[in-house]
Amino acid sequence: MALSVTGVKNARPKDKPYKLADERGLYLLVTPGGSKLWRFDYSFDGRRNTLSFGKWNDVELHQARERRDEARKRIAAGQDPSGKRKAEKIDANLFETVARNWHASAKGAWTERYAKLVLGRLEADVFPDLGREDIDAIEPPRLLDVIRKIEARGAIEMAKRVKNHCGEIFQYGIAEGKCRRDPAADIRRALSKPRPKQHRAAVSPSEFPAFISALRKFDGDELTKLALNFTLLTMVRTQETRFAAWPEFEQLDSDEPLWRLSAGRMKMSREHLVPLPRQAVNILKRLKELSPDSPYLFPADTRHSVISENTMLYAIYRIGYHSRQTTHGLRRCASTVLNESGLFEPDWVETQLAHTEQNKVRGAYNAALYLKHRRTMLQWWADYVDREGAGLRVVASQSQ
């Protein structure tokens, strides 16, 4: 008699495993632990074999019957259905298969941009060499060869990141029963050491007034000049300025204007709030006059429809600061002045810079952390820039 859905559902475990027969070789194996497993017995070339079709209720009765019927068709065609399953098992153990499964399970916690970045690294630097290899057969020297190819082109930091991705893939594979060890852990000490971190060029506080004066005299494109000033006043990264869009700005006509950058826009994948000083709001008003119909603050006829990555940097070169100041270095200028002023807590500065060090201050990052204090600090900074540019030195010990 064929099984019914109700019969399968109501099957109870016993002291020993037992079978509930369906039809044409399909049956349900009920274990003492309560598992209900689909099995199919068949003969091929005079040998008796058994196929496993999965666990109820991951596989419903009608699905188990479909798999049985498919297996019977293969047998009738002179093919051993277990041969196909062996091939499928081999494919499931390939490094690329496990890596893509790891990526699919991990990307839910990432931004879309970062997920694409990680997969792109694997597709470019790992899959061509290791993709078709059994993940359990990959030894440390084999993985090291792949990582050293990345190092050979001078991408030392990238090599380390890719090694870390591979380590997570092997750890995932261990948990899934696809491999028994993580060779990435064994090659850690064999990797090249990264070069000492180079700080982006930035003028010293004593040179800052001359730089601001030169920036004020810049006679090039007004949009570029406004972009530089806006970046300086808000302490954001070049990328964050370039792609700034009008929907990100809030309460511009109030006493608490705000720039809200989404997690997807930030290097550390966390929402970031920038309290806007009065001078930054004035820049926004001028930008709206220059490009009233653009969704971006700094539109341009480029592939991304915004000013290019080097637009602001080349302007800095034009005013005479080649190799002495960079756009990213403007953040360093602000950090140095604010910290040396003695008026503001270092945590406020680090939060405004959206640095990861803020994790040491609070276990969970809060985009609005120190917002009131940072608003006061950025207004002080904007006023400082105005006075230094006008030749009026700011006394560091003045009160807030």
Residues annotated as catalytic are: 237, 267, 328, 331, 355, 365
Query: Residue 376, Cβ neighbours under 10 Å: how many?
Result: 16
Q: Tell me the three-class secondary structure of the chain, residue by residue.
A: CCCCHHHHHHCCCCCCCEEEECCCCEEEEECCCCCEEEEEEEEECCEEEEEEEEECCCCCHHHHHHHHHHHHHHHHCCCCHHHHHHHHHHHHCEHHHHHHHHHHHHHHHCCHHHHHHHHHHHHHHCHHHHCCCEHHHCCHHHHHHHHHHHHHCCCHHHHHHHHHHHHHHHHHHHHCCCCCCCHHHHCHHHCCCCCCCCCCCCCCCCCHHHHHHHHHCCCCCHHHHHHHHHHHHHCCCHHHHHCCEHHHEECCCCCCCEEEECHHHCCCCCCEEEECCHHHHHHHHHHHHHCCCCCECCECCCCCCECCCCHHHHHHHHCCCCCCCCCCHHHHHHHHHHHHHCCCCHHHHHHHCCCHHHHHCCCCCCCCCCHHHHHHHHHHHHHHHHHHHCCCCCCCCCCC
In this structure, what token pair is assigned to residue 338? 């604010």
Strand 272-275's sheet: what is its strand order?
249-250, 258-261, 272-275
In this structure, what token pair is assigned to residue 398? 């003045």
Burial class of residue 270 in the structure, from the number of CB atoms within 10 Å of its CB (0-12 exposed, 13-18 middle, 19+ buried): middle
